[in-house]
Structure 1
C-alpha cells in the first residue's frame, strides 16, 4: 500500500492508521480463529480467541459466539453475563431472551428463567417457544396450574409443538388429571409414536389408569426403541412385581442394577434363590408406580 501511495503521490500511513489497521487485523484473526475452533469442537480455544478479540474492541457478534461456547462448556454464569450485555444492547431481540431462559433452566434458576421469558413476551406475546419456556419456569417454581395454561397457549400458537403437548401431559399426570393427560397421550401417539419420551409417557398414563396390560405392552416398545432405558425397565418391573411375576420383576431389576446401580439403594445385585423375593421387594418398595 505504501508503494502505491509513493507511485501516485499519496502520503504514508500515519502511526495512528497503522495501529488501527493492526487492531483490525488482530481482531479478525482472533474472531475467525475462534469460529473455526468452535466448528472443530475446540471450544476452550474458541473461548480464548473470543475473549482476546473483545479485548481489542467491542463486538456483539463475538459476544454472541462467546455465550454459545460458554454454554457448551457448562459455564452458565459466564454465558449469562454475555447474554446480559447482549440484552442491554438489543432489548427487542427475543432470541437473546430465549437463550438466557434456556441457560437459566439448565441452572435450575427458575426465577431468572421466568424473568427472561417475561422480557421476551413483552416483545413478542405470541411466541410459542417463549410460552413453553415460561411454563417450564412455572413448573420449576411449583406453579403447575399456571404452567398448564401457558402450555395450552403455546399449543394454540403452534399446534405442532410436540414438546408442549408432552410437557402438558406430564404435568397433568403429575397433578392426578389422568383424563387430561390421556387426551395429550392420544395426540402424541398419533403424531410421534416412535419417540421414546412419548412412549414412556403413554405407558405411565395407562399405568395410572389401571390398564397394566396396555402399559406393559408400551414399556416393551420403549425397550425395543432404547434397550438402555432404565426408567422403562424399572417401571415395567414394578408392574410385574404388583402382578406377582417375581421372576419378571427380578429380571428387570437386575437390568436396572446393571445399567444404573446408583438408582437402587441398598441392593447389592446378589439374586440368590433364597433372597430373590426380599431383594426385589426392597428394590421396588420406594418406586413411584407412575415414574413421577
Structure 2
C-alpha cells in the first residue's frame, strides 16, 4: 500500500518552476487582455496600468505596442518614446515601430532625430513613401527647405496621388516666395481632394502674392462656404479688405465673423485695426480690449506687455 500511495502522490506533484510559469502566464494574459478591453473603452489610465504590470511579468512585443499607443493617446509622449526605444532594441528593423517612433519624436520637437530614423526606414524599405514625406517635414522644421522639396518630390514619385506631399511642397514654395511655382501643386491637391480647405487657403495666398485680389478673395470665400468657422479664411479675407483700404467692408465682414463665432479673438483685433484706421479710437480700443479678454496669451496681449498705462489711456494700440 505504501508503494501505491507513493506512486499516486508523486503523479499529483507539480514541478514548482512549471507551476510558477503557468501562474505567471495566466496573470500575464489576464492583465494584457484587461488592458486591451480598457483601451478600447477609453480607460487609458487603467489600460496603462494593466500593460505595465503585464510587462513586469513578461517582455512581450505586442503588449509593448499597446502600451506605447496608450501613452501616445494619453499625451504621455516621453513615456511612449521610452517604450518604443526598447522595442527598437528588440526588433531594430520593425518598420511600423520606427514610423510610430518618428511621430512621437515630432511631438517632442526632436526633428534632427526624425531625419536619422527616416533614413534608416528608407534603407529597409526604399519604396515606402512615408519616410520621405516625414523626413521632408523634419527638414522644413530645421530650415532645410531645398532638402524638404527634394524629399517631397521623391514621395510623389513613389505615390503620385499623395495629396499631403503636394500640399506641403506648395507651403514650402510659398514660404520661399515662389508662389507661381506653388500653384500647380495646389491645383493638384484640389483635383485629388476637392474639399481640402487648406489647399484653397494656399491658392488664395498665391493669388494675393501675385496681385490677383479678386481670385484671392474668391478662394478665401470658398473656404468659408465649405466651413463658416474656418478662422484662417476669415482672417485672410478680412485682412485683404483692410489692405485694399475697404475699411467699411472689412468692419462689416468682421461683424459677421464675430456673429458666427463670438469667441473669435483675432476677429475683434482685426476689426479694431480697421476702426483705428478709420479714426474710431474708442471702437478700436473696445475691440482690442475684448480680443485680449478672450485670448490673454495671444499676439495682441503680448504686444501690450509694458504698455499697461498707455493702453488704459488709449494712447497705444498695437495695430
Fold shared by both chains (TM-score > 0.5): yes
Unaligned runs of 5+ in 2: 1-6, 292-298, 301-319
Question: Is the 2:48–2:67 contact (alpha carbons within 8 Å) kept by the matching residues of 1?
Answer: yes
1:31 counterpart = 2:35:
no
CA deviation after TM superposition for structure 1 residue 139, in Å: 0.6
Q: 1:261 — aligned with what? A: 265
Q: Distance in 1 between matches of 2:126 and 2:176?
A: 27
Taking a change above 3 Å as real, the CA distance of residues 259 and 251 of structure 1, as seen in their structure-2 partners, is farther
Unaligned runs of 5+ in 1: 1-5, 288-292
Q: Secondary structure at the match of 1:151?
A: helix
User: What are the superposed Cα offsets for residues 192-215 of structure 1, whole Å, 9 maximum, x if unpaired?
Assistant: 121112222222222222111111
Question: Is the 2:152–2:169 contact (alpha carbons within 8 Å) kept by the matching residues of 1?
Answer: yes
Q: 1:125 — aligned with what? A: 126
Q: Distance in 2 between matches of 1:185 and 1:102?
A: 25
1:22 counterpart = 2:31:
no
Structure 2 matches for 1:67-106, cutoff 5 A? 67-106=68-107
Q: 1:3 — aligned with what? A: none
Taking a change above 3 Å as real, the CA distance of residues 212 and 53 of structure 1, as seen in their structure-2 partners, is same
Q: 1:50 — aligned with what? A: 51
What is the TM-score when the length of structure 2 is the normalising length? 0.79
Taking a change above 3 Å as real, the CA distance of residues 243 and 129 of structure 1, as seen in their structure-2 partners, is same
Question: Is the 1:134–1:147 contact (alpha carbons within 8 Å) kept by the matching residues of 2?
Answer: yes
The 4+ residue runs of structure 1 with deviation greater than 6 A are 262-273, 279-283
CA deviation after TM superposition for structure 1 residue 271, in Å: 6.6
Q: Distance in 1 between matches of 2:270 and 2:203?
A: 30
CA deviation after TM superposition for structure 1 residue 258, in Å: 3.6
Q: Distance in 1 between matches of 2:270 and 2:238?
A: 17
Q: 1:144 — aligned with what? A: 145
Q: Secondary structure at the match of 1:202?
A: helix
Q: Distance in 2 between matches of 1:193 and 1:21?
A: 57
Q: 1:242 — aligned with what? A: 243
Q: Distance in 1 between matches of 2:253 and 2:81?
A: 42
Taking a change above 3 Å as real, the CA distance of residues 243 and 52 of structure 1, as seen in their structure-2 partners, is same
Taking a change above 3 Å as real, the CA distance of residues 78 and 97 of structure 1, as seen in their structure-2 partners, is same
Q: Distance in 2 between matches of 1:95 and 1:219?
A: 38
Q: Which range moved further: 241-250 or 156-165?
A: 241-250
Question: Is the 1:250–1:276 contact (alpha carbons within 8 Å) kept by the matching residues of 2?
Answer: no
> What is the root-mean-square deviation in Å for CA atoms of aligned residues?
3.1
Q: Secondary structure at the match of 2:104?
A: helix
Question: Is the 1:114–1:138 contact (alpha carbons within 8 Å) kept by the matching residues of 2?
Answer: yes
CA deviation after TM superposition for structure 1 residue 268, in Å: 7.4
What is the TM-score when the length of structure 1 is the normalising length? 0.86
Question: Is the 2:272–2:284 contact (alpha carbons within 8 Å) kept by the matching residues of 1?
Answer: no
Q: Secondary structure at the match of 1:194?
A: coil
Question: Is the 1:249–1:280 contact (alpha carbons within 8 Å) kept by the matching residues of 2?
Answer: no
Taking a change above 3 Å as real, the CA distance of residues 221 and 265 of structure 1, as seen in their structure-2 partners, is closer
Q: Secondary structure at the match of 2:113?
A: helix
